[in-house]
Every structure is written in structure tokens, then in C-alpha cells.
Amino acid sequence: MSTTLSDLTTHFRQAFGGEPDFIARAPGRVNLLGEHVDYNDGWVLPIAIDRAARLAVRATGGETVALSAVDIDARVEFRLADLEAKVAGDGAALPGWARYAAGVAWALRERGLAVAGLQAALTSDVPRGAGLSSSAAVEVAYATAWQRAGGWSLAPMELARLCQRAENAYVGVNCGIMDQFASACGQAGYALLLDCRTLEWGPLPLPAGVAVVVADTMVRRELGSSEYNVRRAHCEEAVRLLAGPLPGIRALRDVSVADFRRHAHRLPELVARRAQHVVEECDRTQRAVGLLRAGDAAAFGQLMNDCHASLRDLYAVSCPELDVMTAEAQALPGCYGARLTGAGFGGCTVNLIQAEAAEDFRRELAARYERAVGRKPEIYVCQAAAGAGVLPDAAGR
């Protein structure tokens, strides 16, 4: 990682004097399967990755929160009494990076939990803007820190829901629960199957001898609110039109593949394509459960390949760079499956790779992508990691 734990502790001493009480850690995440189904009440299959936000913390009590962002060399202070006003110590608006901390404090206090002043130095090796949930990692790290400092304890899913509320209602980003959930609830060596309707979840073992490789195209084309809203509207329109022959459905997750094929002719062509992706992606994620339990990496990887084709051809959220990265990956030895991950239009692909081939795969994929598009990617070999927690001592030992 770019800032070691020793460097983080040194920065804390320079910023605040003395030693931190503890270091909180919360990982980023990548979604293996189940894309664009969360807002259709479907199932998602993320893992927490071994890249994380880390927070060196000293509890100070009182009302003042003093923050130092190591990676961008910025500092700010705010008072907990000023959370509603969203202002820093000088009365100016809180900078965007500090709103995640303020939002978490606000959500925790709204829940009636003890939140007091602290000093904290933040660093993260979760790339920003790459679709790996860098903001959720930061939120969950702050929630973990206030939980430790306050002496209270919540279940990881409840902590995740409060962080989601912070991002929705305070930061102003209408995200689902998956990102904070994976950061809070991750388990080393396991994917997490989450039912986005009921919030029931459970771990599923990753096949033995695999690595997860995340390949960043370095293209940042954020999914515009208009495109996102259009796709949501198409899904809602499909439910409305299918509710006639399929009474009782509440979301596309309630429509089987067989029922969709029987009634797809009732939908406008574009709506049908969008709905087909969601219905079939829900089915893929359900089929993946048995494959992971059986340790069948090849069959699971094929579901990932099928997912990318669906996101490209039916849901239309890919881009040329993502398609190049995916096609080059699928052609390399040791690759079980590859697809875009996240909202699309840029960002990362996720690749399931034979562990012994992962480093060769990483180097060759980077070279092929750079030759094809003229852009140098960032490619990381990852493992499924544990969720958020407090390191045993301030030095991270």
C-alpha cells in the first residue's frame, strides 16, 4: 500500500502530537456477480478485498473532531454540534472528503449512540473512482472507530446500514447497501451472497487455488444520473407490464427466466432488453451458489463471462475500454472468467484467475491493454479479505 501503518502513525504524531489509541480498518469491495440487480431486489455476490481505508485514532472526548487526510495532505476540524450545518471550524462548508466522517457521526448520533470528539489520520489504498467502494470503506472505518471509542457494539450489518444512511441522507448519494455491507461483513476466503430485498446474507467459499484480479481501465465515465434513472425506469416499466400476466410480482427479481420468455413480447423492445439482463442475472447469481459450494471455478467463471456479455449487449453499460480489457483477459491462460464490475461506462473489470498464474496474467493483461488502447492500466491481484475491525494495537501488530 502507498502509506504503511508505520507511516500513518508517524503522520498522526506530526499532525496531533503523541500516539494514536488504535487503528481502525475497513476494506473496499468488488462484486463478482449480480450487477445492476440491487435496485431490482435481486442478489449480489461481492467480496471484501485486501485494500482498505485505515484510520489512526485518538479519542479526545468533547465536541471537536479533527481530521487529517494523509493522501491529499488536507486537514479540517468540525464540531459535532455543527453537523446539521455541515460546516468546518472556520464556518466554511465541509470539504467533500470530510463529509463522510461527518455523515457517519450524524447517522450514529441519530441512532442514539455515543459519539464524541476524536483526532484521526486517514489513508486508503482503495483507488478512488474505480468502482471499488472507496467511500464506503472510509465510512465504515469511521463507524468502526466511533464504535471502539464509544464502547458500544452493533452487528456488522447494522453498522453498514447506518453508513448507508450517512451516504444517502447526509452526503447525498443514493447508493444501495452492498458497498457498506461488504466492507463491514467481509470474510477472508469467502464471497458474500446478499439478498437485497430481505438483507439476509451468508458466506460462500471461493474455489481453492483462485485469485481475484481487479483491472482498472483508468477510464472515469461516471454513470450519469440520467442514464441510471432511465434504466431504473425501464425496469419499473417492465414490472408494471408484466404484473398483468404475473400478478403479485414486486420487482424483476420475482420473474423467472421461463416466465420472462413467455411474456417478453408484451414489453417494448428496449425495455425487454433491460429486463432480460436483470432476470437472467438474478438467475445466474442463484446458480452460482451451487457452483461455489462445489468449488467449480470454471463454471462460475463462465457465468462471469455471460454477465459481461449481458451488461454489454442488453443493459448497454459497457464501453470500448472495458470490452477490450475483458476480451484480452478471457483470452489469457489461467482465466476462468472476466467481466466489468460496478456501474459501468468505465472503471474496473473483475477476473477470476488460477492463483499460480495471477502475476503472469497481471503483467500480460497490462501490456495487451496498453497496446490496444494506449492507456496504462492499474491491475491488482486481490484476495477475499475480512471485514472492518480494529487492529490489535496502534502500530497495527
Q: Which residues are catalytic?
A: 179
Burial class for 276, CB neighbours closer than 10 Å (0-12, 13-18, 19+): buried
* Separation of alpha carbons 369 and 371, rounded Å: 5
- Sign of the four-CA dihedral 53, 55, 147, 64: negative
- Sign of the four-CA dihedral 192, 195, 201, 204: negative
With contact defined as beta carbons under 8 Å apart, do 119 and 127 qualify?
Answer: no
Write the CB contacts of 236 (distance below 8 Å, at least 6 apart in sequence).
Answer: none
* Separation of alpha carbons 206 and 337, rounded Å: 14
* Separation of alpha carbons 341 and 248, rounded Å: 31
3-class SS letters over 237-256: HHHHHHCCCCCCCCCHHHCC
What does the DSSP assignment read for 245-308?
TSTT--SGGG--HHHHHHHGGGS-HHHHHHHHHHHHHHHHHHHHHHHHHTT-HHHHHHHHHHHH
SS3 55: strand
Residue 145, phi then psi, degrees to nearest 5: -65, -45
